[in-house]
Structure formats: C-alpha cells, structure tokens
Amino acid sequence: MSDDWRSYVQRIEELAARSGLEFHPVDFEAVPDSFMMEIAVYGLPVRMPHWSFGVRYIYQLIQRHMGHSRLFEVVFPGNPGHAYLASSNGLAENILVTAHVLGHADFSRNNLLFRRCQAQVSERIVEHAANHARQIQQAIEAHGMQRVEAVLDAALALEQHIDVDQPLRRPRYPEYLQDPKTLADDEFRKRFAALDPTAASTGIEVKKRAPVPPHPERDLLWFVANYAPEMESWERDIFLAVREESFYFYPVFATQIMNEGWASYWHARLLREADFVPQQAYLDAIKCHSDVVRPVAADQQVALTINPYHLGFAMWEKIVEKEGIEAARHIMEQDDDFGFVRNHLTRELADELNLFRFSARSDGQIKVLEHELTELHEALLGAKYNFGAPTVSASHVRNDGTLELTHDNSVDGRGLDLERSRKVLDYVQRVWRRPIVLTTVNQAGSTLELTSP
Amino acid sequence: MSENSNKPGTDAAKWYELFSRGARDWLRHDEKVRESVRQHLPQIIAGGDVINDGARTVRVPVRMLEHYHFRLRRPEESQGAGQGKAKPGDVFSDPSRQRGPGEKGPGGQDEGEVQLLLEFKVDDIVDWLWEEMQRPNLKARVGPSDETEWVREGWDRRGARSRLDRRRSFKEMVKRRRAPGATPSFIDEDLRFRQLTRRRQPAIHAVVFFMLDVSGSMSDRDRKLAKTFFFWVVQGLRREYRSLETVFVAHTTEAWEFTEAEFFQVSGTGGTVASTGFAKVREVIDARYNPGRCNIYLFYASDGDNSVSDSADARESLSSIAGDACYTGYVEVSSGLSRQLATETGRLFAELSAAGCAAGSYALNDFDDVWGAVRHFFTAESNAPEGP
C-alpha cells in the first residue's frame, strides 16, 4: 500500500489537539488483512492460544469470504495507544480512520470507566497480553497441552464473571470474623458485661473463622483462583491472566455505543475541518463515513438490529447540537452505555431514528410493540448487563470442599440453559477438583440443582 | 513503513505474515473434533452412507465444537430493539430468528450451527479400530510365492547412465591416481554402475470371498448392511496382506461371480440354495488360487433361510472350503426379528465351528451391530487355531 496517509497523521493530530481532543500518543501500524482479522478474533494483537478462538476465526473467515465484514482499524488504548490499520485501506479511508482512532484515543484517556480499569490493568495491555501468551506457552511446555487446555477451558468459560468494582489485585477475605469487642463498645454492652464478667470475657477471647465466601461472590475467576482447594500455582496464574484481560475488555464492552459514536463524531468533524485534505480524498472519505454510520435498515425497510456506530453517532450529534461540546465532553467522561442511553436517547431522537421495540417468538414471529421509551432503553441495553453474562455467584464452600454456585434468576428473569451450564460445571470442576453444585430455576420456575461430577 | 522501522517491535514485525494464530487454534479445534469422532467410531462405521465406493476416505459430518459459557435459557419470547419504518402492532416473520436471538458475549459466542464435513482416511479409522481391538494379529499361513523383486546387488563397469554410482566411481578414481603417472581426471575405467538382480520374495497372498445371498427374501436394507460389513472387512484384511484379492459371489438358487461394482447392485428373486454359492467359491479356488500358497477367507452374508433340502449339499461344499480356508465367517442379516442364528445356515456354521474349524457367526440386525460384527470376526479370527 502507499504510505501517503502517514504524511497526514501529524496534521490530523494537530487539528484534533486544537479541537480539544486529549489523547496519549498513538502508534500507527499498517498490517495485512489476515492479521486484522486475527486481531478482531482474539481481541488483542497477541493473545493466549485456545481452540475456541479457532472456531471464531473460521466464522470470521467465512464471513469475510461472503464479503460481510470489512475491518478498517483496530485500536488499543494505552500510553502509547496502538492502532492497526488494514493495509488494503485507500488513502481516503486511512485519513478517516486516523481521525477515528484519535477519537477513540480521546475517549479511552478521559472516560472514567476506561481510566479506572486502565489504572488497574496498566496502560500497556497489549504487552501484558503478549506476556500472558508467553507464560501459557511455557505452561504448555512444562505441563502438556491437555492440562493447560483444561485450565483455559474453565478460565475462558468464566471470562465474563469478574467484578470490576473490586480492585484487580484484590486481597483475600479476612481469615477471621471481626473481633466483637471492637463492635461492642457502647453503653449497653458495657453494662451487660458488668453483669457477668466471666461470661463476657470467655465469649470475646474465641476468634471465629469467617465463612468463605463471607458474601455471594460474583468474581468467579478470582474466587476460584484464590480458594480452589487443590489448584496448582501455574493454574491460578492462568486464571488471573484471563481475569486481567477481562478487566481490560470490560470498558470496551460497556461503552461500545458511546465510544464508537464518539470516534465517528470526531472523524466526521475533523474531516470537515481538515482543509489540507485533497478534494477527491475528502469525497471518498465522506462516502466511507456514511457507510460506517449507516443504519442497518438503510436498504431494507426494517432491521432487527441497530448499528452501534449509527446510534452513537446520531446521539452525539444531537447532544453537541443541543448542549454544546463542553457538555458532550462531560458526558463522555462520566457515562457508560447504560447512563448514556438512558439519559440521552430521548423520545424525540428515537422517533427521528425510527427505533422500535419488538418481541420475537421462538417460532420466528416478530411483533412490533408500543412505543415506550424506558422499555426501548432496556431492549437496547438488556444484553449488556453484567458483562453480558448471567448473574452467577459463589455462595458457599462446604466442609468437604464442595463449591456452591447460585444463579440469581430474580435479576435475570429466567433460569439458566441447563445443558450449557452443566458443561461449564464440568470445565470448572476439573480445576476445583471437588464437587460443584449450581442452583438455578427450571422452566416452571422451581429450584433446580445441577451437580458435577 | 520506513519511518517506523527503527521503533522497537517493528524490526521483528512481519511475524504475522508467516504465522497465523487463528489457523493454529483452528487446527487444535480440528484435532479435538477428530478425537471426539474417534470416540464414536462404532456410529461412524455403522453409517451406511459414509462409504464411497473405491475411495480411501470416508466423510463424516460433524458440528463445530462449542466452548460453553453460562447462558440464560432461551426464552419463549424475547424483546429486542430494531430500526426502520414499523408501526406498533406490525407483525412479520423472520425465519432466521427461529432459533431465538442469541445472547452475545463480548467475543460473540453465538456462532449458530455450521456443519463441517470432515474427511477421514480409511486407514486412520482402521488404525483406530485396530487399537481398539488390541491389534489382533491375523494368523496368516505363509506360502512361498512366485513373486520376485529387483534388488541392488554389486557393481559393474558397464551399465545404464542412471545407475552410475558416483561415490563409488570417485573412490575408484582416487585409487587409480595413487599409481605414479596416472591421468588426473576420470576415465571410463573408473566408472562403476549399480547392478540389479531378481530375488524371490516371500510374499503373503490372500483372497477374500464375499458371498451374498440375493434371494427374494433379502431386502435392500439387508444388502446394505452386508455391504457395510464387507467394506470394513476388506479394510481390515488389506492391512495384513500386501496383495489382497477379492472375489464377489452372489447366489439365489444359482450362483454368479461379479465385479465389486456390480455385486452390490445385484438383486434376485427366488429361493435360497446356499450350496450353489459354496460350489461357485470352490470352483474359483480350484481354478485360480492354490490353497497352499494363498490365504483364503470366506465371508457369507445371508438371512439364513436356506432351503432344507439343500442342507446336506451345503454342509459338504462348505466343509470342503473350510478345509482350505484360514477362516470362514457368516453374518446373518435379519431385519426385524432377531432369530439369533437359529436358522439352517446358522446351524451349518455352528457345526463347522464345533468341528474345530476356524469359523464364526454373527447376527447383524442393525447398522449399530456392524462394529460388533467387525470386532467379533477379527478378534475371533486371531484367536482361532491354526488351520489345517
């Protein structure tokens, strides 16, 4: 490919800085399409090996051969950020993509969720992931493919089950219950103790072991790595490596609409203001832009999915138009997709974009439902709660080491897919090495226990 | 790219042009699929339609493996958001959604159902079968054979250019040059050519007779069962013998020899007179195969309804074959009721076995039994006493 676009990078960066974007420096690299595809499949340029990525890879390959998906860029936040551009991009596409990447870089440096997770994971996730891959390769050499794969089967099956509200490097639970003395320092306790000094003093001396876990634990990766009765240290390391990558993926997942919208808004705006771009390249880039932010429903009358680029772009345009760029930046810093959609997707905008809510029956019949804004928000966001995973938490470890998992169906509204859940239990059981019991509800809503083995 | 080339990481770059992680992990997936296919060998063998005539591979449809995650049960009715000109109350149908909308994870685990057609080498499958059966060693009777083979032996100063032995010629040249006054480079005297000689080869020959009852009582399904079984028998024997010949005989009240292609297409009408078939086999043995030099196998598939009046003839001709054969096997294909070999023909083979000949029977009722039949005959054969 030609390197013409590189001469524009600096000018676009200057223009972006003048327009108020704040970003860490970004390394741009042009890579072949085949590698772009792999980055998309793995989510990171170098990542641990696992057969499930192979399955996704084949699906991507099929999709690409059918001409469905084309990737222009993938960007990784950090300091410096890393942007990979498809070497098949033309000049106009690369100019557009450079501006788009700077929009992402601004977002990931300033959005609070990104900042919090990056503070935990560090700003060098690309290098960390490559280290994990190397570490797992060494484990394969030391312990054999079969054993490492069994651990990865379990760890990657639980990859969404983390708790980003807890620190990445999180201490174990306190071993003992808090000494009741520290709690009992009020007037009543003093007088009660004075009644029978012998009874009171013996009760206080005994330290009580805290139950494990002291409360239902959502961070299954962390919990298993720390409390599995017989896990080997290299197995724990693999669990923690997967968990660290999940901490990186969470903000990407939870701000997709905002983030893509923000980057699209800025590539459009920077392009408009970039007087140094030749006329022809400008026209080509505008066409490319309209392809990217086009609603899925453009050709057809009705689509049952929504292009997040399109939705995010339309929302940011509206916000900037109504409230100004400063307010928009403020929103960008503070929200994630949940707050963003709920607060800023108004009835007016939803109507303008022809958004609707539907219900789909299992026989394929689709029915368009009444316009109801909050319900529409939920339909858009439903798949994103809890990292897109059911709320399963570790609730108890029995004396014999049996792990009790509980699925909170009151949050999710229905029970788990039993077949799949059983398989996941089988994966996890091989590293927990004691029985596992999972409680959920069946179709009829009555409690059900799955066990492994 | 030039302005980037001095940055760390980019010198070593381009590794991704040589190595694809996606392909590596895909291969690992493939391996896992094959492992799991391997654990279901009996079902594969039973699949009547995996056999391509003459091909050395079988195709097995498999599903992509799924890496499981916790997922919610698929709801009867789910809600989603869409876009376009649609009014509340509009109803339309979307067949692609019939499986229900997938709950997508961050990496998109909702990959739907793609079927792969994996191709397996028949040899690999037979390898696995052999492993499964603890490698029965067929007891072959080695006979001296007329087969000869060309082997290298010695050198000569004359020969075809292609057999010039350069190393040897060079040595000769060096040797000659030690004498004073020798010419420095190669002369014709130095050249040595490899010689070939014919040598007799102790080869092991085998011939398998497949005899099929095609009388009116044998249905298409019965014949297909027999065919599937025969297919795996040939595969098994081929591994043991360098040259394996097959003879196909079909009979009703008469018997004919067929080519392999025709054999399985044949259907006849009328009664069953097994002795005609055995006589035909005998005839072919006498005409073409010397029992002293050749290992003879006979596999007979029938529904067992031999006519009672034929018993004596059948017994006689069968025992004459059994005397010369390494092994005779009988599969009784009976759809419907399994009479478990309590038929005329079944009795015949039972007698033979009781008389100490290497003979065995197996009742084949269903495609699932094919695996059992293959295992039965090959383990039985390897345990059978040496033939006379």
pLDDT tens digits for range B269-320: 777 788 888 888 888 888 888 777 778 888 888 887 777 777 788 888 888 8
Q: Give the number of domains in chain A.
A: 2
Query: Contacts of residue A354 in chain B, CB cutoff 8 Å?
Result: 83-86
Clarify whether residues A382 and A395 are in a common domain: no
Span of A15-29, A362-376, A439-453, B195-209 with lowest mean pLDDT: B195-209
What is the rounded average pLDDT of the residues A255-273? 93
- Cβ atoms of B307 and B271 closer than 8 Å: yes
In a shared domain, residues A375 and A430:
no
B82–A contact, CB cutoff 8 A: yes
Query: Residue A219: inside a domain, yes or no?
Result: no
- Taking the C-alpha atoms of residue A59 and residue A37, their distance in angstroms, rounded to an integer, is 11
Q: In which region does residue B125 sit, left (phi positive, over 0), alpha (psi from -120 to 50) or beta (all else)?
A: alpha
Helix (H) or strand (E) holding A145: helix A145-157
pLDDT digits (tens, 9 = 90+) for B199-233: 766 556 778 888 888 877 777 778 778 888 888 78
Cα distance from A56 to chain B (closest Cα, Å)? 8
Please write the tens of the pLDDT for every residue from A406-427: 999 888 888 899 889 999 999 9
pLDDT given for residue B54 in this prediction: 54
Q: Which residue has the higher pLDDT, A426 or B331?
A: A426
pLDDT score, position B110: 41
A427/B111 Cβ within 8 A: no
| Chain B hits for A360, Cβ within 8 Å | 77-80, 94, 97, 100-101
Residue B365 exposed, middle or buried by CB count within 10 Å (0-12, 13-18, 19+) = middle
Residue A6 clears pLDDT 50, i.e. is over it: yes
Q: What average pLDDT does the segment B16-27 reach?
A: 81
Name which residue leads in pLDDT, A327 or B83: A327
A171 vs A168: CA distance, rounded Å: 9
Same-domain pairing of A394 and A448: yes
A361 vs B239: which has the higher pLDDT: A361
Query: Has residue A201 got a pLDDT over 60?
Result: no
Q: Do B83 and A296 touch (CB under 8 A)?
A: yes
Residue A442: inside a domain: yes
Q: Is residue A350 part of a domain?
A: yes
CB A274 within 8 A of CB A11: yes
Judge whether residue A370 has pLDDT over 80: yes
Q: How far is B87 from chain A (nearest CA, A)?
A: 7
Is A425 a member of any domain?
Answer: yes
Establish if B73 touches chain A: CB-CB under 8 angstroms: yes
- CB < 8 Å to B103, chain A: 383, 388
**Chain A, chain B: beta-carbon pairs less than 8 Å apart:** 250
Predicted local confidence at residue A215, as pLDDT: 92
Could you report the per-residue pLDDT of B356-378, keeping only the tens digit for each?
777 788 887 777 777 778 777 77
**Residue ranges in B62-192 assigned as alpha helix (H):** 122-132, 166-177
Give residue for tokens 């291969």: B27
Interval A173-192 mean pLDDT: 72
Look over chain A and give the mean of its residue pLDDT values, rounded to a whole number.
88
The CATH number of domain B205-383, selected from 3.40.50.720, 3.50.50.60, 1.10.8.60, 3.40.50.410: 3.40.50.410
Residues A138 and A142: their CA atoms lie apart, in Å, by: 6
> Is the peptide bond between B8 and the residue preceding it cis, with omega within 30 degrees of 0?
no
Q: Is residue A69 part of a domain?
A: no
C-beta separation of B344 from B338 below 8 A: no
Least confident of A158-167, B39-48, B371-380: B39-48
Q: Other CB atoms closer than 10 Å to residue A180's CB: what's the count?
A: 12
Domain span at residue A410 reads 388-452
B68 touches chain A (CB under 8 A): yes
A306 and A377 share one domain: yes
State which of A370, A387, A404 marks the end of a domain: A387
Domain edge (last residue) among A387, A407, A431:
A387
Query: Where do the domains of chain B lie?
Result: 22-69+113-128, 148-200, 205-383
In a domain, A230, yes or no: no
Domain limit, last residue, from A387, A414, A439: A387
pLDDT for position B387: 38
Report the distance separating Cα A264 and Cα A256, nearest Å.
Answer: 12
Query: Do A309 and A354 belong together in one domain?
Result: yes
Most confident of A84-88, B10-14, B15-19, B330-334: A84-88
Chain segment B88-118, per-residue pLDDT in tens: 888 877 655 544 333 333 333 344 456 667 7
The predicted structure's pLDDT at residue A101: 94
Identify the pLDDT of residue A133: 93
DSSP H or E run through B61: strand B57-63
Contact yes or no for A440/A407 (Cβ under 8 A): yes
Q: Which residue type occupies B224? A: K
Residue, of B252 and A77, whose pLDDT is higher: A77
pLDDT at B388 (0 to 100): 33
Would you call B22 and A57 a contact, using CB atoms and an 8 Å cutoff?
Answer: yes
- Best probe of the B interface among A1, A29, A39, A52, by most B CBs < 10 A, is A52
With respect to residue A52, please indicate whether it lies within any of the assigned structural domains. no
Nearest to B72 among A303, A416, A424 (CB): A416
State whether A60 and B22 contact (CB < 8 Å): yes
Collapsing DSSP states into helix, strand and coil, what is residue B301?
strand
Strands (E), B139-273: 148-156, 193-200, 205-213, 243-251, 255-258
Of residues B372 and A128, more confidence is placed in A128
The answer to whether A369 contacts B79, with C-beta atoms less than 8 Å apart, is yes
Q: Which chain B residue's Cα is nearest to A43?
A: B107
Q: Does any domain span residue A287?
A: no
Residue-level pLDDT at B202: 55
User: Which run of H or of E encompasses B118?
Assistant: strand B115-121
Q: A433 versus A297: which is more confidently predicted? A: A433
B98 — contact with chain A (CB < 8 Å)?
A: yes
Question: Does B337 score more than 70 pLDDT?
Answer: no
